[in-house]
Chain A
Amino acid sequence: MEKRVVFRSAWLPYALVAPQIAITLVFFFWPAAQAVWYSFQMQDAFGLKTQFVGLANYAALFKDGNYLASFKVTAQFSVLVAFSGIAISLLFATMADRVLRGAMAYKTLLIWPYAVAPAIAGVLWAFLFAPSIGIVTYVIKGWGINWNWILDGDQAMLLIVVASVWKQISYNFLFFLAGLQSIPKPLIEAAAIDGAGPMRRFWTIVFPLLSPTTFFLLVVNIVYAFFETFGVIDATTQGGPGQSTNILVYKVYHDGIKAGDLGGSSTQSVILMIIVIALTVVQFRYVEKKVQY
């Protein structure tokens, strides 16, 4: 028998979701629609002269080899952030789940970084790794590595990946911990009695049972890498050196806010929006099939 709560009123359900819909309309659909509209226009910074240019902004963008290169950088960056973020927090969560003494303290400390704003996280890491004065730089230079992410693109990428992952670990950790705690203990105990070692128990029981959580986090982390890492980048590399850390969302900000090119910037946001929608659809259609609920 299926249990279902049914609203008998015709308007009540709509009234209840109305605030949520209103917020989505005002803060998502309206600006998104505006971005689409701006992307067909060419405007000076002050908005004094506006011309409708059709798809010219899009054409210009796709002719620009650097914009296409920015896709590659973004793909690299988000894969690195999502995978290492998920892997490390899964490791931490399984560890924290096994700890008997002082578990609260570990958990609290692991959750802390989430409270730090991305820009501040960026500044913290930039200080630690600053080419002249950073403490970590001092150690790395002691190993004989020439550490200067101001000029070395790979090092710059490493820095923003580390900073972004560090910020996101807490969030992932929370979900994994909750996921782990909802796995019935008898399952694991039964496997242990059958002689399965910790590794085997993890890969054949725990990991598959965590797959809904992992899938959810994969989506969230990709979106995080695409959009929210902007603060970290602005506080550290600002897209440089060259274009080695110029991810799509940072370029949107630089062109629109700093350089006052609203048309070009809006065009990029629209493309970014399409990419994220496409990615999410792909994830739900293909990856979700492998998930066991």
Chain B
Amino acid sequence: MKFKILAAALAAGALCAPAHAQTEIQWWHSMGGALGEALNGVADKFNASQKDYKIVATYKGQYPESLTAAIAAFRAGNAPHLLQVFEVGTATMMAAKGAIVPVATVMANAKEPFDPKAYLPTVTGYYSDLKGNMLSFPFNSSTVMFYINKDAFKKAGLDPNKAPKTWKEVVAAAEKLKASGSACPYTTSWPSWMHIENFSAWHNVPIGTKQNGMGGFDTVFTINSPLHVRHIAMLGDMSKKGLFVYAGRTNQGDAKFSSGECAMFSGSAGAQAGIKKAATFDWSINFIPYHDDVKGAPQNSIIGGASIWVMGGKKPEEYKGVAKFMAYLSRPEVQMDWHTLTGYVPITKASYDLTRKSGFYDKNPGADMPVKELTLHEPTANSKGLRFGNFVQGRTVIEEELESVFAGKKDAKAALDEAVKRGNEILRQFEAANK
């Protein structure tokens, strides 16, 4: 008797099953904590918006870890459909021609409407080839900003509503801050991203030949120019005088600012959320400083963050779902949600306009500064972005050399010459491996 009931239940279950099952799309990402919740919200809403596809988002650790996991999975033949890769991994992914499918191709094959021009040029430029084909989908983009602690400025007798605009003003303010007892007038997160990569774009000077590597793998670094040397020497000098306190290679500077220890700070636009939560003082977010005697400065800053890559070797039906999901992600209201929730910049002009109309920027002054900084001028070959092979290693080399300047062990010229020499060796190796 029991068996009969069970059999009947099973049969009923089989009858009720949908005519065709949902197609699952695996998405590996690196958004932890509050950002992870926001990402899951995006996936859930997409899943609820239609019935054919299901995005399964999985947190795979920090950026380098999820990239490693995906590479291992690819070698074993079970890579995810979508993979979030940080910006420095762009060249590695791009070179892996058999492992990825360009987003532009995915969209064209699925006949999803897709207009690359709808996106902010500084964002798409970073992830497109020279012909303008989008290779990966810009998901979370930020840029580097300059923050000041207004209370510390007041205490030092500085005008808290006038954040330093040039590096000369930064040094002058730092001296006053130090005299007022500040143990850390200025610090930075992401030293290479801020003081080499964005510094170059902001002053419209190249980081490397061949349009910062976008024009081919046979690029060489040019970060030992007189302007670069002068800037790094200035930082080394500030470090010696106690005007600049080095915090480390990643985002360790964020905590030094939000705890009130450091009065001025350059870090990701994404640091705002943490500062809002932790800071017990008045602060403001501003454009990064520039050297005012450099012609063409300030130009525009470049992005950081990550994009979504579509992996190769999947079924056509699955790629259709991927295309649908990317089209969904580009919708202005979806973008606005993501932007206002996380602090990452909106990646389409339409979503930027929509957010402005919603009054979000009036309620959150400064929240539109990152977009303004990214789009200050039409990007040039020097400020579109960069694409260097094995740049994870390249950045480490740059940071090691910067540290030797900040510690007073090397002078700026010697350190940057060495960074170029070692960096170029890495580039040559990448070129040879990807011939």
- A residues adjacent to B (C-beta < 8 A): 42-49, 51, 60, 64, 66, 131-133, 148, 150-153, 238-243, 254-255, 257-261, 263-264
Chain B contact residues, majority secondary structure: helix
Q: Tell me whether B433 and A259 are in contact (CB under 8 A).
A: no
- B residues adjacent to A (C-beta < 8 A): 64, 67-68, 71, 74-75, 92, 95-99, 239, 245-249, 252, 255-256, 259, 261, 390, 392-393, 396, 399-401, 403-404, 406-407, 409, 422, 425, 429, 432-435
The closest CB in chain B to the CB of A238 belongs to B249
Complex Cα spacing A46 to B67, Å: 10
Provided the pairs A46-B74, A132-B259, A150-B246 are in contact, do residues A264 and B96 lie with their beta carbons within 8 angstroms? no
Chain B residues within an 8 Å CB radius of A261 = 390, 393, 429
Q: Tell me whether A258 and B392 are in contact (CB under 8 A).
A: yes
Query: Looking at A48, A242, A258, which has the most chain B CB atoms within 10 Å of its CB?
Result: A242
A43 interface neighbour in B261, B396, B401, B433, Cβ under 8 Å: B433
A258 interface neighbour in B68, B246, B403, B425, Cβ under 8 Å: B68
Complex Cα spacing A254 to B246, Å: 22
The closest CB in chain B to the CB of A48 belongs to B98
Q: Tell me whether B74 and A148 are in contact (CB under 8 A).
A: no
Chain B residues within an 8 Å CB radius of A238 = 249
Complex Cα spacing A45 to B396, Å: 18
Q: Tell me whether A45 and B247 are in contact (CB under 8 A).
A: no
Q: Tell me whether A242 and B71 are in contact (CB under 8 A).
A: no
The closest CB in chain A to the CB of B252 belongs to A150
Complex Cα spacing A143 to B74, Å: 54
Complex Cα spacing A258 to B75, Å: 16
Q: Tell me whether B68 and A42 are in contact (CB under 8 A).
A: no
Chain B residues within an 8 Å CB radius of A264 = 429
The closest CB in chain B to the CB of A146 belongs to B242
B245 interface neighbour in A46, A148, A241, A242, Cβ under 8 Å: A148
Complex Cα spacing A195 to B67, Å: 68
Chain A residues within an 8 Å CB radius of B97 = 48
Chain A residues within an 8 Å CB radius of B71 = 45-47, 260
19 contacts between A and B (CB under 8 A): A44-B92, A45-B71, A45-B96, A46-B71, A48-B98, A49-B435, A60-B429, A133-B255, A240-B248, A240-B399, A241-B246, A242-B401, A242-B403, A254-B393, A258-B68, A258-B392, A259-B393, A260-B68, A261-B393
**Shortest distance in angstroms between A48's beta carbon and chain B's nearest beta carbon?**
5
Provided the pairs A42-B432, A150-B252, A240-B249 are in contact, do residues A258 and B259 lie with their beta carbons within 8 angstroms? no
**Shortest distance in angstroms between B42's beta carbon and chain A's nearest beta carbon?**
27
